[in-house]
Chain A
Amino acid sequence: ETGVTQSPTHLIKTRGQQVTLRCSSQSGHNTVSWYQQALGQGPQFIFQYYREEENGRGNFPPRFSGLQFPNYSSELNVNALELDDSALYLCASSSQVSTDTQYFGPGTRLTVL
């Protein structure tokens, strides 16, 4: 069984740029959630996708957007990057049978200069 994978591992961008982060779900999982984790904090929920539709959103502005594809992989897009967007971005997937237990990928470390 393949776990959750994310790419790239690290990324450096400048303020105002746009970024796309990618996630492949664990085999058999059709629900994907994205989180932002600042240094020393717990992950903060950005949004969740289920069957290619947004299925809930946290307190993040519209410049954070996402997509889920038919193979259940997902993208997180962030426009007009700000310095405070520097963080570890985590993707988590869960199965159709239970949307409860989420399994996390290794994360993408984004640095905005």
Chain B
Amino acid sequence: EDQVTQSPEALRLQEGESSSLNCSYTVSGLRGLFWYRQDPGKGPEFLFTLYSAGEEKEKERLKATLTKKESFLHITAPKPEDSATYLCAVLYNFNKFYFGSGTKLNVKP
């Protein structure tokens, strides 16, 4: 049973075309939800941590939001350099860290 599901699996955008990535979770005792960016062959790069429903975090063209069942990563006016795989992960039961399979984003100029 998947505990973290990300959608879509892949997303193609034109430069400047805003969109959202989804991360839904079914764990109990959520302690935090995390977004990471991963470039091919490299380790995940930390973006945001969200702890409670209603919380929002922003960084440049990215904005992450959290509800009781899901999180969204909104990308406003993306650029080609935003192309990467975006991973979400949940921390629950004190120290269990569970990742989704990621959304592969491709932004074309």
Chain A residues with a Cβ under 8 A of chain B:
4, 6, 33, 35, 40-45, 48, 55-56, 58, 88, 90, 92, 99-107, 109
Contact = CB atoms under 8 A, between A and B. Distances in A.
Contacts of A107: 41-43
B32 A100 contact: yes
Given A88-B41, A100-B91, A104-B43, A44 B32 contact: no
Interface string B16-58: 0000000000000001101010000111111001000000000
Contacts, number: 60
Nearest to B45: A104
Chain B interface mostly? strand
25 contacts: A4-B43, A33-B97, A35-B99, A40-B101, A41-B102, A42-B99, A42-B101, A43-B44, A43-B99, A48-B95, A55-B95, A56-B94, A56-B96, A88-B41, A100-B32, A100-B34, A100-B49, A100-B91, A101-B34, A101-B49, A102-B34, A104-B44, A107-B41, A107-B42, A107-B43
B2 to A, nearest CB: 11
B32 A90 contact: no
Which of A40, A102, A103, A107 lies at the interface centre, i.e. has the most chain B CB atoms within 10 A of its CB?
A: A102
Interface residues of B, number: 25
A90 B98 CA distance: 14
Given A102-B46, A102-B97, 20 more contacts: A6-B43, A35-B99, A40-B101, A42-B6, A42-B89, A42-B99, A42-B101, A42-B102, A43-B87, A43-B99, A45-B97, A48-B95, A55-B95, A56-B94, A56-B96, A88-B41, A90-B44, A101-B32, A102-B34, A107-B43
B41 A109 contact: yes
B95 A90 contact: no
Contact of B46 (A56, A101, A109): A101
